[in-house]
Structure formats: C-alpha cells, structure tokens
Amino acid sequence: MRLSPLALSALLALGACSTTPAANDTGAAAGDTGAAAADTGAGTDTGSAVDSAAAADSGETLYMLAPGDCFTFATATSMDAMSMTCGDVQSLGGDLSTPSGPDSMGGLCQLTGTFTSVSAVPTDYTACAWSSYLEVNLSDGLADHGLILRDATQTHHYRLHVTDSAPSHPTLVFAFEQID
C-alpha cells in the first residue's frame, strides 16, 4: 500500500501531537474497590450486601430484600421463606410486614420527609405510630424514605434508609444501622 505525501504528512502530524496517555479510568468512584461486603448467611440465604458507586461514596453498605424474602437485622441476611413468621421484616411484593409483638403492635415506623443517607434518618422513635404492615404506593415506591424498625423480639431498633424501591423494581434496596 502506498501513501500519498499528504496522507503521510497528516499521519506524522497526528503522531507528533499525541501526549502521554492519562491514567486508566476504571469508572469506579474514589475509594470504591468494587468489592461487595461478604455475606456469611446460611445456605438458604438469598440476600447480601451489594456494592454500588453510591454506596461506596456515602460509606453505606446496601442490602437487598426481594419480594417474599425476610430480612434479619442481627445477621444482616435475607432468606426466601414466603412465610410471615421469619426474620424481622418481610417484603410482600413491595409492601413490608413485621411480626406483631407482645403489645400487638408491629415493628414498622415510617418517617415523614426524604433522607439521603442512613445517618440522616432520626434515631428518636418515641413519637412512632407502630404498625405491622406498610402498604407502599406503587407509583412512588419508598426510595429516599426513612423507616425505624424493631426486630422480631421488639428488643432492638434499627433505622433504615431506603435507596431504591419502585414499581419497576419491587426489590427493596436499603442501608440500616442499629439504634439500640
């Protein structure tokens, strides 16, 4: 193949204009290693922490709860049980349910407002109106909502920041932190 003098000059000019290549962009947010937190749940465990750029950037570990699955806060695991008697909270096609405690009250308290992180969700639950069932408005979902939940024994309280929950994505994605 023979190049014209004009084409050869253009190629040489392009080569002369090149600079040292920049560092490879991995697409990861600063500090995000891309590694998800290890899930140490039992063999039937279907849930685990998930890694996303948002989680790593805010320092939150995110968990997923698919419809029909139950989540236990003490072990940070979910399992597919399709039973109302498992774990601390169960997802029912986007809606949430908790076992009723000795006072016949449930363990769910939905907070008003929107929240950007689990640390933004209040820890004071004295004014909570506890219920055992939360019906989610399917057109809105629960993204950026805050919840306070009691465990099944109603001994410990947890604050949750829901990062994703919508009609097109009925799996609840959230971060949580134990209050007491």
Taking residues 24-43, report their average pLDDT. Answer: 42
Least confident of 28-32, 107-111, 169-173: 28-32
Largest CA distance in the chain: 90
Identify the pLDDT of residue 136: 80
Does pLDDT of 49 surpass 90?
no
SS3 (DSSP) at 139:
coil
Question: CB–CB of 80/55 below 8 Å?
Answer: no
Does pLDDT of 25 surpass 50?
no
Q: Is the pTM of this model over 0.95?
A: no
Least confident of 10-14, 46-50, 152-156: 10-14
Digit-coded pLDDT (tens) for 71-130: 999 999 998 866 556 889 988 877 888 887 666 688 999 999 999 999 999 999 999 999
Does pLDDT of 15 surpass 50?
no
Question: CB–CB of 124/46 below 8 Å?
Answer: no
Q: What is the strand order of the sheet 157-166 is part of?
A: 49-50, 62-65, 169-178, 157-166, 146-150, 108-110
Identify the pLDDT of residue 138: 62
Number of residues written out for the chain: 180
Identify the pLDDT of residue 76: 95
Burial class (CB in 10 A: 0-12, 13-18, 19+), 9: exposed
Digit-coded pLDDT (tens) for 124-168: 999 999 999 988 876 677 889 999 999 988 899 999 999 887 666
Question: CB–CB of 81/69 below 8 Å?
Answer: yes
